[in-house]
């Protein structure tokens, strides 16, 4: 029964996230909030709602931080290698210079800061803890990034963000609440199912988080980025992934650690380094071969690299 709830929870989680994003889009448009803020907070951050709900609730309610951290780390590796790689195969992604110099470097900084805090936050020499002080540091970095984006980043509306057109404000508000409730319910079932699935398969909860949950919670990013790439909206395709990654490491983990300190399992050390390496790989790929472009060839290499990584995870267990 728990396994059934696991898959049903995943379905509810993804569907509820879509409802939440659509209703938030309409409300933002209704109050004439700028398209920049809609694109940043609804498209990029909005597609991270599944990761947020799983990570936050797994740590707060179940005390299973390995599931949540695995979901964030696994999701970010999947986002860059598979989603951007696949999107580039569909249509090469040409990066603007400011995207490379600003957004990609912010992504590297977010992962590197998390890795630094995770590796050196020791609780009396017994276990690695991402504590409340670390959470405040991550949340402060997120606030700085958000302030920078809203005040200094380019605000050219050359790409339109598609906004859902619901009928009335009360309906939009009601769907917003329903979407939030669905996300929380779906996340709870996913967490319970993941714990049971890990026990049944004899695998660690971190492994389930890195693979099944990490990939599953990235489905919104996959749909948005591939669709955007197919329509030539490269800014949305890239911004969705980069914004989601930064939000995951700074906001999601920061808030979770602030509410309840997170135990960081040693098994996740290597996977965090893999995520950092992958983030740097995306940055440096802009200077290799065809500059400022994620070509189809690079996309194929990214997807192949992700398949090798998953195979290594399976072998490791």
Asked if the model's pLDDT at residue 272 lies above 80, the reply is yes
Q: What is the structure's pLDDT at 164?
A: 46
- Dihedral of the CA atoms 48, 49, 52, 55 (nearest 10)? -100
Q: Residue-wise over 223-260: b if at least 16 C-beta within 10 A, else e? A: ebbbbbbeeebbbbbbbbbbbbbbbbbbbbbbbbbbeb
Query: pLDDT digits over 277-306, tens only?
Result: 999 999 999 998 898 899 999 999 999 999
Q: What is the pTM of this model?
A: 0.74
51-60, 68-77, 244-253, 298-307: which has the minimum mean pLDDT?
Answer: 51-60
Q: Looking at residues 158-171, what average pLDDT do you find?
A: 51
Q: What is the structure's pLDDT at 110?
A: 95
CA dist 242 to 26, 105, 231, 245, 283, Å? 23, 10, 19, 5, 11
| Separation of alpha carbons 174 and 157, rounded Å | 30
Residue 246 or 5, more confident: 246
Asked if the model's pLDDT at residue 159 lies above 50, the reply is no
Helix-helix angle 296-316:267-285, to 10 degrees: 170
End-to-end CA distance of the chain: 24
Asked if the model's pLDDT at residue 155 lies above 60, the reply is no
Residue 9 or 304, more confident: 304
CATH class of domain segment(s) 2-316: mainly alpha
Residue 13 or 245, more confident: 245
Residue 289 per-residue DSSP state: S
Q: Among residues 67, 11, 45, 4, which one has the least CA distance to residue 183? A: 11
Query: pLDDT digits over 20-35, tens only?
Result: 556 655 665 666 655 4
Give the model's confidence band at 160: pLDDT under 50 very low, under 70 low, under 90 confident, else very high: very low
Mean pLDDT for the chain?
Answer: 75
Enumerate the domain spans of the chain. Answer: 2-316
| Separation of alpha carbons 14 and 315, rounded Å | 29
Percentage of the chain surpassing pLDDT 70?
A: 54
Query: pLDDT digits over 97-147, tens only?
Result: 877 877 889 999 999 999 998 887 655 445 577 888 999 999 999 999 888
Q: Looking at residues 261-286, what average pLDDT do you find?
A: 89
Give the model's confidence band at 163: pLDDT under 50 very low, under 70 low, under 90 confident, else very high: very low
CB of 190 within 8 A of CB of 64? no
């Amino acid at each position: 029964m728990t396994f059934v709830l696991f898959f049903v929870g995943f379905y509810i989680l993804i569907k509820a996230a879509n409802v939440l994003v659509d209703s938030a889009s309409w409300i933002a448009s209704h109050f004439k909030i700028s398209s920049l803020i809609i694109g940043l907070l609804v498209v990029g951050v909005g597609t991270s709602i599944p990761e947020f709900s799983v990570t936050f609730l797994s740590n707060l309610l179940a005390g299973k931080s390995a599931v949540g951290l695995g979901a964030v780390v696994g999701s970010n590796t999947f986002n860059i290698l598979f989603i951007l790689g696949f999107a580039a195969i569909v249509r090469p992604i040409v990066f603007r210079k400011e995207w490379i110099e600003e957004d990609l470097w912010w992504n590297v900084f977010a992962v590197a800061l998390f890795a630094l805090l995770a590796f050196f936050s020791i609780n009396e020499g017994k276990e690695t803890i991402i504590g409340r002080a670390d959470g405040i540091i991550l949340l402060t970095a997120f606030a700085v990034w958000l302030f920078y984006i809203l005040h200094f980043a380019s605000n050219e509306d050359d790409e339109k963000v598609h906004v859902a057109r619901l009928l009335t404000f009360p309906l939009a508000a009601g769907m917003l609440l329903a979407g939030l409730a669905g996300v929380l319910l779906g996340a709870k079932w996913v967490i319970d199912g993941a714990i049971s699935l890990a026990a049944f398969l004899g695998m660690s909860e971190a492994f389930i988080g890195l693979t099944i949950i990490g990939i599953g919670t990235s489905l919104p990013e996959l749909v948005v980025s591939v669709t955007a790439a197919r329509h030539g909206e490269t800014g949305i395709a890239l911004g969705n992934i980069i914004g989601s990654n930064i939000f995951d490491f700074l906001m999601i983990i920061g808030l979770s650690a602030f509410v309840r300190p997170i135990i960081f399992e040693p098994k996740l050390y290597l996977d965090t380094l893999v995520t950092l390496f992958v983030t740097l790989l995306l940055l440096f790929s802009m200077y290799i071969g065809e500059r400022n472009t994620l070509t189809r060839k690079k996309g194929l290499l990214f997807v192949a690299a992700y398949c090798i990584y998953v195979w290594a995870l399976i072998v490791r267990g």
